[in-house]
Amino acid sequence: MTEQSVVFVWENFGPVHADRCDAVARHFGDRRKVHGIELAGSSQVYAWNSQDGAAFQKHTLFPAAAAIYKVPFFKKAAALLRACWARRPADFFFCNYDSPLIFCTALTLRLTGARVFVMNDSKFDDYRRYLARELVKRVFYLPYDGAIASAARAADYLRFLGVPESRILSHYDTMSTERIRRLAGVARAPGGPAFAARHFTIVARLVEKKNIATALRAYALYRAEAPQPDPGEQQEDHRKPDSEAHVAQPVSRRMLPQRFGAAGDRGDEVKVHGRGRGPEALPRRGYPGELR
């Protein structure tokens, strides 16, 4: 019997997705092949470049699609099901459980004997919940044999939605510490820059629900009260080239208060990095297709 593959399906593969698939491929070695299936060659949410990874095989359904939501549903469904079917036997991992495309594909695979799993990081207290809506969600989770949650609270929510506790694993939202250390371009502590020259770093989506405003207010208090605050403008810029680090030119924090309500006027001390995504382009309420 052919050894089962492992297949991950996302809308688009950014650095974090490629790192996770590479890690899984390295774990299995020659025992199982790892495949990645992405719907489109670019993301509707993030400005990163699509990543291929080093240890897994990636297949893009619509490489030239500028907006995957504009591709007709049945065309997407047929392409995704063909791609999944061609990689059987396999265990399949899906995100976006609430997408009709994903639900239909996962259901078809489950009914034809494949094992399918859902990946989710939603928590019960993310939004106001309504009983009728939560009952409908339970239907969307029926195709799945198990789930990978981001942490304990997300696992509790999956259990609430009908996924057996014994079939829920944690640590879905992981980052490659090796990539972060490599892109930092400096030696690890206690080596590297002197303590007084180090900066604070926030790695997060620049949307309101990430509560970056609170971090900026805390930094403003630090600047005002610390005896010798960090001289941010004197720091050496250790960023890698744009093609590797996926960053753009710094954006002044003076543009942030209207978006995040941050206190203070030390705009020269805070830099925002993100390819082509200045604060003026940031959404105020999540992003299209957001899991809730």
Does the domain at 5-169 match CATH 3.40.50.10090? Answer given as no
Q: Count of alpha carbons within 13 Å of 100, Cβ hemisphere only?
A: 7
pLDDT at 243: 36
Determine the pLDDT at residue 214: 87
- pLDDT recorded at residue 220: 84
Q: Domain limits of the chain?
A: 5-169, 177-281
User: Running along the chain, 292 residues long, what does each successive block of 10 average in pLDDT?
Assistant: 84 91 94 95 81 92 82 95 96 96 97 96 91 95 96 94 95 85 82 81 75 85 74 43 36 42 50 50 35 32
What is the predicted pLDDT for the residue at 162? 94
CB 286 within 8 A of CB 207: yes
Q: What is the pLDDT of residue 202?
A: 82
Alpha-carbon span 79 to 82, nearest angstrom:
5
| Per-residue model confidence (pLDDT) at position 247 | 33
